[in-house]
Amino acid sequence: MTTWDAYIEKAQSKGVMAKELYMVRMSPTVPLDQLGPTVPDHLAYQEKLETEGILFAAGPLGDETGTDYSGEGLMIYRADSIEQAKKIAGNDPMYLAGKKTFEIRPWLVNEGRISIDIRLSKKSSNLP
């Protein structure tokens, strides 16, 4: 076992990206049909975070088999600390309404590739 900060330093010394983001996994505390009324406020909050550059990505999670949905969701935040990420998640309307709880974990982005295809003449974009 090592400390998280030591692991980050080790990753940085290897020359990888070593960008710390925060994974937020929300789980429902109520049946799925009771989430509906809060969804518009939740999505508006997500859009606000996206506009502010805080939200990297978000969306629902399927179950382990890929056949069912129980109301879980995953968000990736850009934040300065885990405390700030907790504050952001704590202001989500789903959490404030008592309809979801959340778990936050730091996530170190080291490898991967992001490609974006923007076609100006077609007013379209694609994230393959």
**Per-residue pLDDT, 46:** 97
State pLDDT tens for residues 83-116. 999 999 999 999 999 999 999 999 999 999 989 8
- Is 7 within a domain? no
The first and second tokens of residue 76, run together, are 């990736």
Q: Which three-class secondary structure state does DSSP give residue 7?
A: helix
Residue 117 has pLDDT above 80, yes or no: yes
- Is 122 within a domain? no
Q: How far is CA 98 from CA 26, 79, 102, 112, in A?
A: 11, 23, 11, 35
- Is 28 within a domain? yes
Structural domain span for residue 70 = 18-111
- Is 12 within a domain? no
The pTM of this model reads 0.90
What is the 3-state secondary structure of 33-55? HHCHHHHHHHHHHHHHHHHCCCE
Are residues 115 and 97 in contact, defined by beta-carbon separation less than 8 angstroms? no
Task: List, in sequence order, every residue forming a beta bridge with 55; answer none if it has no partner.
Answer: 77
For residue 60, count CB atoms less than 10 angstroms from its CB and return exposed for 0-12, middle for 13-18, buried for 19 or more.
exposed
How many alpha carbons fall within 13 Å on the CB side of residue 102? 25
- Is 118 within a domain? no
* Domain CATH for 48: 3.30.70.1060
Given pLDDT bands bounded at 50, 70 and 90, which one contains residue 127? confident
- Is 128 within a domain? no
State pLDDT tens for residues 42-81. 999 999 999 999 999 999 999 999 999 999 999 999 999 9
State pLDDT tens for residues 16-49. 999 999 999 999 999 999 999 999 999 999 999 9
Number of separate domains in the chain: 1
- Is 13 within a domain? no
**Per-residue pLDDT, 119:** 87
- Is 50 within a domain? yes
**Per-residue pLDDT, 104:** 98
